[in-house]
């Protein structure tokens, strides 16, 4: 099979030849007007199209529909993300998602799982929208139950380093090839440094899940921004981060260490109204905010990856190539997604999107999505 278009990173017309993996890329004289890029990789998706991945009772049909919706936005690999909840509910949700991965045609897009919490700060602010009653310290027995439930497919665990158990936990999970990500934290400078030395390599939605007011310095945002051993992901929906913070954060982390995520929740892709995030009711407002019902607190986002790429260009002033890099190869490196770290080169998985790029308004329109060489959209 082959595709012809403008290769996003080089800007040159090429022909891609592929089956499950890319076998060749060669220059051509005419692109036909389409652009080609690796498919988007989203490391944090709590739900989509009204489907809450934290709900153990999601049916296969509901999960399939939500994945098809993600694929239509250019996503080819993603990590369904289960947040803080009761031990039983978290296990059941993970088992349910593992079954979907193994039985659904669309399940090929699920490349692993992200567990965000429950080992986070119990404090208001850093805890974000996670339910306080289920916040608990890290315990390796619980991690191994998650691994058993998913067939050892947990890929990222987000936790706060300030728990006394955190350093041993980080050392243990990273020894198993799992990414330990710092998030929803109230850690001190020393606790953050110790966590990175223990093996933490990522910051989860940096700039969010934080106190509304912080001391000037030191604080846990500056420390993570300054730590060159940490990559960081950002929710670029124009709501979670103001333009000034986003621009400064990207300069501090540099393009090489910056990742786009959506943190999408069930309301993403839906009309305004009430939805669920785990055991909590959330509302999608008319201005596209996902809020805990009855509280002025964000609870995930309604962002799509294609819109996130556009926002990186419009809000942060990135080029198309750099914005797509944050959504593809950088995300794959941060989340250790196999076969996706090099881009459109022979040997990498044939996860490919064809899209139209409008330079006048910096919009992209997905035309086709291939996963491992198979056309899904």
What is the average pLDDT across 146-167? 98
Domain holding 72, by residue range, is 39-339
How many Å apart are CA 341 and CA 335, to the nearest integer?
A: 10
pLDDT score recorded for residue 93: 98
7 bridge partner residues: 36
pLDDT of residue 171: 98
- Give yes or no for a contact between 107 and 101, defined as CB atoms under 8 angstroms apart: yes
Between helices 320-327 and 305-316, what is the axis angle to 10°? 140
Does pLDDT of 172 surpass 90? yes
From 263, 306, 322, 348, active-site residue: 263
CA distance 60 to 15: 36
CATH code at position 277: 3.20.20.140
Residue 22 domain-assigned? Answer: no
Using pLDDT thresholds of 50, 70 and 90, give the confidence band for residue 132.
Answer: very high
Q: Is residue 19 part of a domain?
A: no
- Amino acid 353: pLDDT: 98
Query: What is residue 296's predicted lDDT score, i.e. its pLDDT?
Result: 86
Q: What span, in angstroms and rounded, lies between the C-alpha atoms of 142 and 144?
A: 5
242's CB contacts (< 8 A; 6+ apart) are none
* pLDDT above 90 (res 312): yes
**Would you say 6 and 35 are in contact if contact means Cβ atoms under 8 Å apart?**
yes
Task: Please report whether residue 184 resides in a domain.
Answer: yes
Global model pTM greater than 0.75 = yes
In a domain, 212, yes or no: yes
**Is residue 212 pLDDT above 90, yes or no?**
yes
Position 289 scores a pLDDT of: 96
Q: What is the mean pLDDT of residues 180-193?
A: 98
Say what the pLDDT of residue 277 is.
94
Measure CA 149 to chain center: 21
Structure tokens at 161: 């380093």
Is 350 part of any domain? no
Neighbouring C-beta atoms of residue 230, cutoff 10 Å: 22
Q: Which two tokens stand for residue 202?
A: 């990522």
Share of the chain above pLDDT 70, in %: 100
How many structural domains is the chain composed of? 1
Up-side HSE of residue 162: CA atoms within 13 Å toward CB?
14
Active site residue 263: yes
Q: What are phi and psi of 6, to 5 degrees?
A: -80, 120
Non-local CB neighbours of 271 within 8 Å, separated by 6+ positions: 284
Residue 31 falls within a domain, yes or no?
no
| 160 and 189 Cβ atoms separated by less than 8 Å | no
Say what the alpha-carbon torsion angle 21, 355, 313, 220 is, to the nearest 10 degrees. -40
Return the half-sphere exposure (C-beta side, CA atoms, 13 A cut-off) of residue 348: 19
In a domain, 173, yes or no: yes
Report the 10 Å Cβ neighbour count for 189: 14
Closest C-alpha among 165, 166, 145 to residue 154: 145
Is residue 355 situated within a structural domain? no
């Amino acid at each position: 099979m082959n595709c012809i278009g403008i290769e996003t990173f080089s800007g040159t017309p090429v022909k891609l030849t592929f089956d499950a993996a890319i076998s060749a890329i060669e220059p051509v004289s005419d692109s036909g007007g389409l652009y080609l890029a690796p498919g988007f990789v989203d490391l944090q998706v709590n739900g989509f199209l009204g489907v809450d991945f934290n709900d153990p009772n999601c049916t296969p049909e509901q999960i399939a529909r939500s994945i098809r919706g993600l694929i239509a936005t250019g996503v080819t690999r993603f990590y369904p993300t289960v947040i803080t909840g009761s031990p039983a509910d978290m296990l059941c949700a993970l088992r349910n998602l593992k079954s979907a991965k193994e039985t659904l045609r669309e399940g090929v897009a699920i490349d692993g799982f992200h567990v965000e919490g429950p080992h986070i700060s119990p404090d208001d602010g850093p805890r974000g929208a996670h339910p306080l009653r289920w916040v608990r310290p890290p315990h390796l027995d619980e991690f191994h139950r998650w691994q058993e439930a998913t067939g050892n497919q947990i890929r990222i665990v987000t936790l706060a380093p300030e728990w006394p158990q955190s350093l041993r936990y980080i050392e243990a999970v990273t020894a198993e090839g799992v990414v330990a990500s710092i998030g929803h934290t109230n850690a001190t400078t020393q606790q953050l440094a110790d966590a990175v030395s223990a093996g933490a390599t990522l910051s989860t939605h940096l700039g969010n899940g934080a106190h509304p007011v912080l001391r000037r310095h030191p604080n846990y945002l500056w420390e993570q921004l300054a730590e060159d051993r940490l990559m960081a992901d950002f929710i670029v929906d124009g709501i979670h981060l103001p333009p000034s913070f986003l621009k400064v954060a990207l300069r501090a982390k540099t393009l090489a260490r910056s990742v786009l995520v959506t943190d999408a929740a069930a309301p993403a892709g839906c009309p305004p109204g009430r939805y669920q995030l785990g055991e909590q009711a959330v509302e999608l407002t008319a201005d596209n905010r996902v809020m805990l019902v009855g509280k002025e607190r964000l609870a995930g986002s309604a962002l799509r990856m294609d819109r996130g790429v556009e926002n990186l260009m419009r809000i942060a002033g990135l080029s198309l190539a750099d914005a797509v890099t944050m959504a593809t190869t950088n995300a794959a490196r941060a989340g250790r997604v196999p076969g996706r770290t090099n881009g459109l080169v022979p040997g990498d998985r044939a996860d490919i999107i064809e899209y139209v790029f409008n330079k006048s308004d910096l919009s992209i329109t997905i035309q086709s999505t291939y996963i491992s060489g198979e056309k899904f959209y």
